[in-house]
Amino acid sequence: MNGPQDLGGRHGFGPVLPEDEGIRFHADWEKRVLGVTLAAGALGHWNIDASRHARESLPPATYLSASYYAIWLRALETLLVDAGEVTVEELSRGHADAPGHRQDRRLMADGVEDVLATGGPANRDGPVPVFSIGDRVRTRNHQPSGHTRLPGYARGCTGVVTAVHGPHVYPDTNAHFEGENPKPLYTVRFAAADLYGDDADPTLTVSIDAWEPYLEPA
Amino acid sequence: MHDHAHHGNELDEMTARVRALETILVEKGLIDPAAVDAIIETYEHKVGPRNGAAVVARAWNDPDFADWLRRDASAAIASMGFVGRQGEHMVAVFNTPTAHNLVVCTLCSCYPWPVLGLPPAWYKAPAYRARAVREPRAVLAEFGVTLPQETQIQVWDSTAEVRYLVIPQRPEGTDALNAEALAALVSRDSMIGCGLARSPEAA
């Protein structure tokens, strides 16, 4: 979607503010957001693509002015309401009116280590890739109103395949619970001038990971 | 609220909001507060950029391991015990005297958690996500890094589930150092590409 998340190449956001690597959180509430988000994810109501789509679907002014943990929390509320686990009334009161549906999926403390260590691999069996390393490809003018992972700055641009990763879960359908629909995934490298025009840094290349439906032969 | 009356401190909006949600989910039997604590403990104290620094130090000292990282970073990194969420599909990109690598996620906050821990706030903020793919030299300058004008800059936008780890160049004068001493030279930012490994004199 052409939403507020699609930030690559935009101007006007000011300087980057580096900080010491010892800083993990800026407030205790951020820790709870992290923990509650991951624990609620274990219920299995949504997948990583749906959670990203919930975040990018926040109102643009909210998305661009909120810290990332605030974005996570707002999106988590949406996901839980959409899943039918929590009501808006419960959120406003701060207490539950009814028991949860998936208590059997509750992540317990002794299961955390395994869940985090297992993760969620995205590779699947699927179609044989049509492109090979070294092929020149053009990204399609692909701008669905729903979720996609083709960034706007790289639409309609010509680059070179530098890696073939095999079929991966396709976010454009998975985010909308329309199936994992595995598609071959590639790394595609672009010269900056092919993305940004004549002002681009001549020493710069940018690589994206792109699923086959985003690409056509060039 | 109880805490408000008891402690007399005003809860800020986000604190109140996450507390309300956590309360609801616990009352519903959907989350275990001890599991939430365990997740926080993991990423606050156990999984962080020292993992990645150990990978880099080993790559500097062990050419066979460096080759393995180039061929199959997921397996090479897993062999050191760094596995799991947001590190399922790893690619290691090696800086050279002529090419510098920089990692970003313009669309959200994708980051290699098993080797670097949680992403820093700036990595998730609009300024970095907007500019890293377009004017990385200006971004690097804000980290105090200036590269030669002829150095090629290779930016990796993490748009899928592949996660990138930058292997910075080994500093001069480190031939005699063991893995532990080498790892101490490897900053988090150098493994994102926003810094360089420290020289032993500076460390």
Mean pLDDT by 10 residues, chain A (218 residues): 98 97 96 98 98 98 96 98 98 98 98 96 98 98 98 98 98 98 98 97 98 98
- Distance from the Cα of B42 to chain A's closest Cα (Å) equals 8
Contacts of A163 in chain B (CB under 8 A): 91
Both tokens assigned to B134: 């377009």
Q: What is the CA radius of gyration of chain A?
A: 20
> Average pLDDT per run of 10 along chain B, which is 203 residues long?
44 93 98 98 97 98 98 98 97 98 98 98 98 98 97 98 98 96 98 97 73
Q: In this structure, how many other beta carbons lie within 10 angstroms of the beta carbon of residue B117?
A: 24
- Distance from the Cα of B175 to chain A's closest Cα (Å) equals 26
Residue B42 dihedral angles phi and psi, to the nearest 5°: -60, -50
CA dihedral for B132, B48, B118, A27, sign (positive or negative)? negative
Q: In this structure, how many other beta carbons lie within 10 angstroms of the beta carbon of residue B63?
A: 9
How far, in whole angstroms, is CA B58 from its chain's centroid? Answer: 17
Nearest to B29 among A26, A106, A116 (CB): A106
Q: Which of A64, A206, A212, A215 to mutate to test the interface with B (most CBs of B within 10 A)?
A: A206
SS3 B111: coil
- Distance from the Cα of B99 to chain A's closest Cα (Å) equals 9
Q: In this structure, how many other beta carbons lie within 10 angstroms of the beta carbon of residue B163?
A: 25
**Alpha-carbon gap, residue B129 to B194, rounded angstroms:** 13
Q: Do A94 and B49 touch (CB under 8 A)?
A: no
Amino acid letter, A79: L
Contacts of A204 in chain B (CB under 8 A): 136, 152-153, 155
Q: Is the ipTM of this complex over 0.95?
A: yes
pLDDT of amino acid B203: 61
Q: Given the DSSP bridges, would you call strands A183-191 and A158-168 parallel, antiparallel or unpaired?
A: antiparallel
User: Which active-site residues of B does the annotation give?
Assistant: 105, 108-110
Both tokens assigned to B61: 């000292």
pLDDT of amino acid B7: 43
pTM: 0.96
Provide, for chain A, the percentages of residues in helix, strand and coil under a 3-state DSSP scheme, each rounded to the nearest 5.
35, 15, 50
Contacts of B148 in chain A (CB under 8 A): none
Q: Given the DSSP bridges, would you call strands A136-139 and A158-168 parallel, antiparallel or unpaired?
A: antiparallel
pLDDT of amino acid B201: 84
Contact predicate B153/A202, CB 8 Å: no
Smallest Cα–Cα separation from B123: which of B51, B74, B46, B193? B193
Paired residues of B156 in beta bridges: A207, B103
pLDDT of amino acid B202: 74
Q: Which of A6, A10, A32 to mutate to test the interface with B (most CBs of B within 10 A)?
A: A32
pLDDT of amino acid B1: 39
Smallest Cα–Cα separation from B124: which of A16, A102, A210, A213? A16
Q: Given the DSSP bridges, would you call strands A215-217 and A136-139 parallel, antiparallel or unpaired?
A: antiparallel
Contacts of B134 in chain A (CB under 8 A): 8-9, 153, 192, 196, 200
